[in-house]
Chains A and B, each alone.
Chain A
Amino acid sequence: MTAVAITGMGVVSAAGLDLDTFTESLLSGRSAVGDFVLPRLANNRRRQAACIKHLNGTDRFSARDLASCDRFSVLALLAAAQALGACGLEPDLIASTRTAVVIGTGVGGATTIDDGHHALYVDQRRLDPLTIARLMPSAAAAQISARWGCRGTVFAVSSACASAAQAIGVGMGMIRTGQADRVIVGGSEASLTPAGFRSWEAMRVLTDTKCRPFSCNRDGMVLGEGAAIFVLEDRKAARARRAPIVANLLGYGTSSDAKDLVRPDPVGAALAIELALQDAALDRRFIGHVNAHGTGTRLNDTAEAAALTMVFGDHLGALPVSATKPIHGHALGAAGAIELVAAIVALQASVAPPTLNFTTADPDCRLRVSAERQTVELPIAMSNSFAFGGINASLIVAHPDWS
């Protein structure tokens, strides 16, 4: 089967607007979570989130281009510019019918939706004619396609917090089956709007204290935003053109709980993990590190620990598990992409990043949680994404030197 290489990678997150800053935050355990004030609300108590306060690099786009973009598309374009700049592909190869774009997002243009509703209901005025073009979930993929001239298959994947991981998995399949020579994949989310944030509050899944994945005293998650984009190619072709391969994408598994939309089922999550191992044709003992979905909610972490236990059994004692959301926040539809960057950065440094705020082990989560940064022996990592809707996705990446 065609092996798939990642030849370019870019990230825009509150934990770093470029790969170097993000890597530093991740490995040193510097949290981007901070105070956060929602606009347009009367009852405005203090909130916390990992939001991007100042966005650099937008000067590369014209005012007219930016006017057609929601924030989630701007984040995607910035991350794509990094990834495409790093992959070393000539512009005429990117601008081709053989280049596809598959981008995950949970919501799409949340800011545009909020602005539109405010204009309509509060100001009673006509909406901006570009409202639809900005808010559609496929806007980020279409913007990338338009900017770099990618004329192959272009679409969005929307499956809540599994969106980006599924987009990456689908893109890998397109390289394997020859549907495209290059696929730009990843995810983008910018949904920290008043209504978006209050919707999460209504579910009571946000912490009032700190996000502490897998810790006994965990009490919820912290929201984030951002984008991460990768360039996928046939590894043979990438080697032939001496591309800077950052990692090999070995496996992808996805499953649906087919049960409750909000209560995770460990059986479904375990199936996605198992399918990723089968897809990579790997024995579970070769996995050296897991970047967990690890949201910090009671239900997710218990279910994820149960799923990992089902699949990894006695190997779990030797398997460092990191949850990096306390650093970059839960970026929802972009989480799978941002956390794949985290998994790759960890592989490159041979470490498991710290799981911030971890205090006490939970007897229901019998994992080797990497509370502090620790050395990892094996150059293969897994990244999990489990979504509302009961949709699960798991990706496996290897250091480029591993074969």
Chain B
Amino acid sequence: MVTISSHETGLQVGWPEFADPTLVPRILDIIAIESMIDRAAIRPDATLETLGVDSIEVVMIVNGLEDAFNATIPSELRLGDADNLAQLVGILGAAIAQGHDELKA
């Protein structure tokens, strides 16, 4: 998974890529449902602040992802360090993907 910050490149931010191509759209669906925001507003360069998503809604998103993917998202993830949704989805997606690899192993 590689995410490049728009601050570094000046280029448009894109969603991270994972081995499972359905992972990102499923995460985005859950973000939309849990934070009650329009799915169309969920763009890679959007931030939680600009979307008006508060800390409890972030908790609801993470809990929703754990339930949907039957995964455990650990406390030490630095979700607050994400500059935008692309980075946030990158951190969450990596944790979910890693959890699934561990289950398979």
Contacts and interface: CB of A to CB of B under 8 A. Distances in A.
B8 to A, nearest CB: 22
B55 A219 contact: no
B76 A209 contact: yes
A86 interface: no
Contact of B55 (A209, A220, A262): A262
Contacts of B77: 219
Contact of A207 (B55, B56, B59, B75): B75
A299 B58 CA distance: 13
Contacts of A262: 55-56
Interface string B62-95: 1100000000101111001000000000000000
Contacts of B49: none
B55 A263 contact: yes
State which size class the interface on A falls in.
10 to 19
A220 B74 CA distance: 11
A208 B59 contact: no
Nearest to B55: A263
Given A204-B62, A204-B63, A217 B76 contact: yes
B75 A208 contact: yes
B62 A298 contact: no
Contact of B75 (A202, A219, A263, A299): A219
A203 interface: yes
Given A262-B56, A298-B80, A208 B74 contact: yes
A206 interface: yes
A209 B75 contact: yes
Given A262-B56, A299-B55, A206 B75 contact: yes
Interface string A199-217: 0001110111100000001
B101 interface: no
A67 to B, nearest CB: 38
Contacts of A202: 59, 63
Interface in A187-238: 202-204, 206-209, 217, 219-220
B20 interface: no
A363 to B, nearest CB: 13
24 contacts: A45-B72, A202-B63, A203-B56, A203-B59, A204-B62, A204-B63, A204-B75, A206-B75, A207-B75, A207-B76, A208-B74, A208-B75, A208-B76, A209-B75, A209-B76, A219-B75, A219-B76, A219-B77, A220-B75, A262-B55, A262-B56, A263-B55, A298-B80, A299-B55
Given A207-B75, A209-B75, 11 more contacts: A45-B72, A202-B63, A203-B56, A203-B59, A204-B59, A206-B75, A208-B74, A219-B76, A263-B54, A263-B55, A298-B80
